[in-house]
Structure 1
Amino acid sequence: MAFVLYSLILLCMPVVAQEEIKVDCGPDSVTLRWRVLRAQIDPSLLLLGDCSPNSVLPGEAMFQVDLGDCNFKRMVTGDTMMFMNELTYTSTPKAHLKSFSYPVVCAYERPADWEPPIFDPVTFHTYGQGELVFQMELMKDDLSGPHLSREYPLGSFIPVFAAVEQKAHQPLILLLEECTATTTTELRSEGLVHPIITNKGCLVDSKTSNSKFEPRRQVAEIVLDLQAFKFAVGEEVYIHCKLLAWDPSGLDTIRKGCHYVKAHGWELLDDPYHSNLCGCCDSSCKS
Structure 2
Amino acid sequence: MAFFWSCLRFGWLVTVGLAAADMKLDCGPDYMTLVWTDSRSQADPSLFRLGSCFPTSFTPREVVFNVELDDCNFRRLVSGNELNYTNDLLYTSSPDSYVLPFTVPVVCSYQRPKNWYPMRYDPVFSTYGVEDLVFHIDLMNDDFSGPAESTTFPLGSMIPIMASVEQVTHQPLLVLLEECVATTTPDLQIAADMYTIITNKGCLVDSKSSRSKFEERQKVSELRLLLQTFRFGLSQEVYIHCTMAAWDPNGLDNTKKACHYVKDHRWELLDNPVYSSLCDCCDSTCKARKARSPGAGNGLVQKAVIGPLTITDLAS
Q: What range describes the TM-score normalised by the shorter chain of this pair? A: 0.5 to 0.7
2:161 paired with 1:160:
yes
1:241 aligned partner, one-letter code: C
1:108-119 → structure 2 map (5 Å cutoff): none
Work out whether residues 128 and 170 of structure 1, in 8 Å CA contact, stay in contact via their aligned partners in 2.
Answer: no
**2: distance between equivalents of 1:236 and 1:207?**
25
Question: Partner amino acid for 2:141?
Answer: K
1:65 counterpart residue number: none
State whether residues 136 and 161 of structure 1, in contact with CA within 8 Å, keep that contact through their aligned partners in structure 2.
Answer: yes
Matched letter for residue 287 of structure 2: K
Q: Distance in 2 between matches of 1:128 and 1:275?
A: 33
Instruction: Provide runs of 4+ in structure 1 moved above 4 Å.
Output: none
Aligned-partner Cα distance in 1 for 2:237–2:191: 16
Q: What is the SS of the residue equivalent to 1:161?
A: strand
How do 1:47-86 and structure 2 match up within 5 A?
none
Alignment of 1:49-198 (within 5 A): 129-188=130-189, 190-198=191-199
Kept in 2: contact 1:212–1:259 (CA 8 A): yes
How far, CA to CA, are the matches of 1:234 and 1:228 in structure 2?
12
Q: Secondary structure at the match of 1:273?
A: helix
AA at the equivalent of 1:192: D
Following superposition, the deviation at residue 143 of structure 1 comes to 1.1
Cα distance between partner residues in 2 of 1:172 and 1:254: 16
CA contact (8 A) 1:162 1:223 kept: yes
Partner of 2:237: 236
Is the partner of 1:205 in helix, strand or coil?
A: helix
Match of 1:257 in 2: 258
CA distance in 1, matches of 2:129, 2:168: 12
Shift of 1:234: 2.3
Asked if structure 2 preserves the Cα contact closer than 8 Å seen for 1:161 and 1:221, the reply is: yes
1:248-267 deviation digits (Å, cap 9, x = unpaired): 00000100000000011100
Question: For the structure 1 residues 128 and 280, does the alpha-carbon distance in structure 2 shift closer, same or farther, using more than 3 Å as the test?
Answer: farther
- For residues 227-280 of structure 1, the C-alpha deviation after alignment (integer angstroms, 9 at most, x for no partner) is 011112221000011110000000001000000000111000000000000000
- Contact kept in structure 2, 1:161 and 1:223, CA below 8 Å: yes
Q: Deviations over 1:72-91 (max 9, x none)?
A: xxxxxxxxxxxxxxxxxxxx
**Is structure 2 residue 220 aligned with structure 1 residue 219?**
yes
CA contact (8 A) 1:137 1:161 kept: yes
Partner of 1:208: 209
The aligned amino acid for 2:170 is: H
Which letter does structure 1 place at the counterpart of 2:148? H
Using the TM superposition, give the Cα deviation of residue 189 of structure 1 relative to its aligned residue in structure 2, in angstroms: 5.7
Instruction: State the alpha-carbon separation in 2 of the partners of residues 256 and 136 from structure 1.
Output: 18
Give the 3-state SS of the residue equivalent to 2:207 in structure 1.
Answer: helix
When residues 190 and 136 of structure 1 are mapped into structure 2, their CA distance, relative to the original with a 3 A threshold, is: closer
1:146, CA displacement in angstroms? 1.0
Matched position secondary structure for 1:137: strand
**Structure 1 gap ranges (5+):** 1-126
Cα displacement string for residues 186-223 of structure 1 (whole angstroms, at most 9, x for unaligned residues): 11264220000000000000000010000000000000
Distance 1:284 1:135 in 2: 28
Distance, in Å, in 1 between the alignment partners of 2:191 and 2:180 is 16
User: Amino acid of the residue matched to residue 285 of structure 2?
Assistant: S
- How far apart are residue 171 of structure 1 and its match? 1.0
Can you list the C-alpha shifts for 1:8-58, whole angstroms capped at 9, x where unaligned?
xxxxxxxxxxxxxxxxxxxxxxxxxxxxxxxxxxxxxxxxxxxxxxxxxxx
Q: TM-score, normalised by structure 2?
A: 0.50
Alignment deviations for residues 140-165 of structure 1 (CA, whole Å, 9 cap, x no partner): 00112111211101110000011100
Identity %: 60
Structure 1 letter corresponding to 2:268: E
1:172 partner letter: L
SS in structure 2 at match of 1:281: helix
Pair 152,266 (structure 1): closer, same or farther in 2 beyond 3 Å: same
Amino acid in structure 2 at the alignment position of 1:222 = L
The alignment's TM-score, normalised by the length of structure 1, stands at: 0.55
1:192, 1:232 within 8 Å by CA — same for their partners in 2? no
Aligned match of 2:81 = none
The amino acid across from 1:254 in the alignment is: T
State whether residues 181 and 198 of structure 2, in contact with CA within 8 Å, keep that contact through their aligned partners in structure 1. yes
Q: Deviations over 1:85-131 (max 9, x none)?
A: xxxxxxxxxxxxxxxxxxxxxxxxxxxxxxxxxxxxxxxxxx97111
Q: Gaps (5+ residues) in structure 2? A: 1-127, 289-316
